[in-house]
Structure 1
């Protein structure tokens, strides 16, 4: 019997943290962060990391597990979170993943095989040499023969995607289309994905307010501390909320300019998150407003009760 797993997704600032706490309280659950930035110690304000008060006694995983200079891949996330899920199940509790990093969450649900997903430098160099000798159209025609569906999606001059599609076929014996479909069909978990959504004007207003609150809470000081520690070029500092503030720290832009940029990038990020979850995962969507939040949360808890009790 597959293990139960609840996943809460949606764009930034929509209310995922608050809902995850309610679900954990209702179903004796523990929460795993599905955010690629909250793994770093010291990146608290810019990542909107859950506070001790907000946790309300609920155990949380995948928070503060790395120093900012350390790298962390999707494969690392997959392995660690699957271990967390097992650990929570052994305590006879319900694991709940809450976050907005779609690819990371998808890798856990569908048990992606990263040995294939990791690109082979040797293979790429081999195909690049073939392109130099024979021309890119020659290689593109081979993709059309082995995987016509992917060939339709890839522009003949997009060398990177062209090589990647051929690499999957040559290393697995499956077309990219077949390989992606197989991975999506297989999951070790019995999961339910709950998605929160808002009308765009309301969500954007919440995002703008959240950025203002981050500034008031000390985001500038947080980024400056990381910059002074020599962490400007790390993976951690490339995240939204950090890279936008650096030009102010370095005296290149005004505070007003970087705040406007952060708000704009956060809004764009929310739009990309929403599109990604809509297109990539089987999500049960719930629309909320400030006035309807409590009622919608109750509806979600009621709906999850049936899922939780299924055997």
Structure 2
């Protein structure tokens, strides 16, 4: 289905049943969930609500791997870079800020797409909002043995883009702070380098190991979260794309199945609706 066709289909279904549909794109770090959320938003006239508990904070764009303006493809992103760097942002704050955005988007005929790997945020949103909205989850997954080298390469790429200088500026400003964005992988590790407690290579190796561990924990929590959605979630295996890194592999193994999932969700719900 074309992009225009997907948009028309979504709008027609939304108007027919006055539905309040929210799509949740979740996955471990480095699996491509931000890319998928953006491309789904393009096809279904949606906007993205960030659900990464570190990316809500201002600053540290490289270390936290925030979506750049070019990468966003003109799709509005909400709850991104708006919290003071050292302020904690618990799940209840995410619900407090996110629920009005979901309501506004749906009122304006947009599809809210909640995207991120912070399962505590998603769980809190489901607990307080499940009665008011129809949630459907897409879990983009990559085999961990394939994902680990990708995450290692991403650390190298972050450093080449200026991650060390970014964290040094943060350290010079906030010292040994441990709250807010200071919890991002890269901040405590590179702090050892600034204090001459470890070499840069040692710090980078530690960043890689900690990122691997994070991805494993996220994968376990997302598995449990999919059960909380009561079966209203589908896993998309992005391992082929992660291996080949080609546009065709992305389209065939990730994007097309995800578009089909969203369309199927909408159409299945219509068939279950009132006569």
2:258 to 280, 300, 304: 300
Q: Is the 8 A contact 2:56 2:83 kept in 1?
A: yes
Give the whole-Å Cα distance in 1 for the aligned partners of 2:212 and 2:142: 13
Q: TM-score, normalised by structure 2?
A: 0.82
Asked if 1:12 is matched to 2:29, the reply is yes
Q: Where has structure 1 moved over 4 Å in runs of 4 or more?
A: none
- The alpha carbon displacement at 1:246 in A equals 1.2
Q: Is the 8 A contact 2:236 2:257 kept in 1?
A: no
Corresponding residue for residue 216 of structure 2? 271
Corresponding residue for residue 174 of structure 2? 230
Higher Rg: 1
Cα distance change, pair 302–247 in 1 and its aligned pair in 2 (3 A): same
Q: Please, which runs of 5 or more residues in structure 2 have no aligned partner?
A: 1-17, 228-232, 271-275
Q: Please, which runs of 5 or more residues in structure 1 have no aligned partner?
A: 113-185
Aligned residue pairs: how many?
238
SS of equivalent residue, structure 1 residue 307: helix
Corresponding residue for residue 29 of structure 1? 46
Corresponding residue for residue 195 of structure 1? 139
The Cα offsets for residues 258-302 of structure 1, whole Å up to 9 and x where unpaired, read as 100000000000000000010232431111222432212111102
Asked if 1:212 is matched to 2:162, the reply is no
Corresponding residue for residue 187 of structure 2? 242
Give the whole-Å Cα distance in 2 for the aligned partners of 1:231 and 1:49: 23
- The alpha carbon displacement at 1:241 in A equals 2.5
The Cα offsets for residues 173-217 of structure 1, whole Å up to 9 and x where unpaired, read as xxxxxxxxxxxxx54221110001112221011101111111111
Q: Is the 8 A contact 1:110 1:188 kept in 2?
A: no
Give the whole-Å Cα distance in 1 for the aligned partners of 2:91 and 2:175: 21
Q: TM-score, normalised by structure 1?
A: 0.73
Corresponding residue for residue 285 of structure 1? 235
Q: Is the 8 A contact 1:109 1:188 kept in 2?
A: no
Give the whole-Å Cα distance in 2 for the aligned partners of 1:307 and 1:270: 28
RMSD over aligned Cα atoms? 1.5
